[in-house]
Chain A
């Protein structure tokens, strides 16, 4: 008991020391040639990749030094926040959001951060996602897109030959699978806190809904969204999904799909590398566009992670930062990272380099039509948090409209 108390006290003390900046000064002496880079950890390959790249960079640019820190996704938000609070922010950061830093005036714009060649290499829709109030601050780095995955064996057993295109077909096919194939769940629907906002958005955008309306105003509780959530609730209550979508996380259903226990679901580009190949490389599955309400137009969810450069010491770090960023965005460097981690390109040059892969090409082809969460809106983080926590309850005990109303309220409260 006592040890625990002391542990808590020690943790408190460490936090206070960190908060008040007693934790030892950050590296980088202000000569402008030594920079700190905090990267998110995507997999075991991330750290070796950056270490290698930095070694090459330092060899090519004598006198410059990059101090790397690779941080787990679960800790990176808290870590960065503490660093900012104690004025020890990194020079370069790799994260899935940038708008809060842009709003607080901490970032270099794209023109200050990279060369014109790199700037013009970004694909147009990613440039849009990297903007805050009309200026691009977020430098897109990697992207990901989602497609519909279906198990061909289960479909054959149920007498189905093609994946569903409309929502009616989704429901009808699911009923058919339920009736004819024992021991499998027709549809995987992860609405647990890990990624429910993404799952919901994929269904909503294919019903003409989404987070914001055409004018960019928050429209979380729009009739289309209510209809979407009601449809998902109906699928759940009809027993066509795995049990309790509200507590099922994405990795749970991806694992079940890999084991051949789920008929169809919204899958991600990294499904084969991370889930299917390690456990069941012989799984027979197909990939198709996400089904939509009317079955005519199919949107996909795009996800993009950024690099961003922090203004420090009145711009003393600018030269080193842009030198390093230009180096990162060299075609072969980006392509190597994407191959290592199984993600999609955000630059034209890397896209051309990866187009020969037939599996990846299906996803790359979808990218120009990808829709993104409004990460550029400073209220997004609050909306994202509320959505993750609440959306799932709409297929369990709470009324879909009430759930969406609450998230809308969060959005409005957090908008200036």
Chain B
């Protein structure tokens, strides 16, 4: 009797979650399976599938001599952008949480980089950094900081720093609003209690605000890690990962394998590796923060 009721219950549940489940299967699971399948196939440059390749594409990928450097750069890119974004956003969130005249206007202004297309932002920065006509060089030369124009995007390290700055710039709005929401969720009584106990501003911030912000920081940085890791338009527009592979991350490298090297199999293998990398990164991060204790 009880068993039957349970079964009817689960069928009923399936009816409710069915559409969502189907959507996930079609939109998430299927592409992943296709991606893994493509990485195991031998695909001619004409586009014809020539047969099963096994792990050959992965071996080809591992033989790429630029790969270690690209992996390392991807790590620097992700960690650098996310850490700087988070630190700046802590300040910005605090500012937006204060009462001051024109606060609404400032809050809207902070959203702008988010609302603008990333592609457009990257294009504008590329032009501002242009060697011949760029605004950045002109201003710096007018201020006598520079004597002659610097070709910012031609030197791999400078280019990487500028691209990281653009990535920070477009990640700030989301992060600072997540932190703002976190700040607003902290009850005022806690601060009053701290004041009565005689805690100074610094102590209050470190002992009370930061710990209570943990959930917000956690959500913000995980989404940022995924986003920055997959970030393609900034690098593609500003340097195409060049010269050579000197500013590639694994994401742009994956694209170049398909477009420049015309090797769909290798590119799919890189896509699978990217997929695994991001999962591993997020798991490590969650583990480091012992999120189960936090949420549970």
Residues of A with Cβ closer than 8 Å to B? 1, 4, 8-10, 12-13, 15-16, 19-20, 77-78, 80-85, 100-101, 103-104, 106, 192-193, 243-244, 246-247, 256, 378, 381-382, 385-386, 388-390, 392-393, 396, 398, 406
Contacts and interface: CB of A to CB of B under 8 A. Distances in A.
Interface string B21-49: 00000111011001000000001111111
Interface string B217-238: 0000001000100100000000
Contacts of A244: 131, 151, 154-155
Main secondary structure of the interface of A (DSSP, over half): helix
Interface in B212-263: 223, 227, 230, 239-240, 242-246, 256, 258-263
Contacts of B151: 243-244, 247
Contacts of A12: 27, 31
B158 to A, nearest CB: 11
B153 interface: yes
Nearest to B43: A85
Contacts of B31: 9, 12-13, 15-16
Which A-B residue pairs are the 6 nearest by beta carbons?
A: A84-B47, A244-B154, A385-B260, A81-B47, A12-B31, A100-B46
Nearest to B33: A16
Contacts of A396: 243
Contacts of A398: 244
Nearest to A79: B47
Contact of A246 (B132, B154, B245, B263): B154
Contact of B46 (A8, A78, A84, A246): A84
B45 A13 contact: no
20 contacts: A10-B27, A12-B27, A13-B26, A13-B27, A13-B31, A16-B31, A78-B259, A85-B43, A100-B45, A101-B46, A106-B46, A243-B149, A243-B151, A247-B153, A247-B239, A247-B243, A385-B262, A392-B242, A392-B243, A392-B244
Contacts of A100: 44-46
A101 B47 CA distance: 9
Main secondary structure of the interface of B (DSSP, over half): loop
B272 interface: no
A13 to B, nearest CB: 5
Contacts of A20: 34
Contacts of A84: 46-48
B46 A389 contact: no
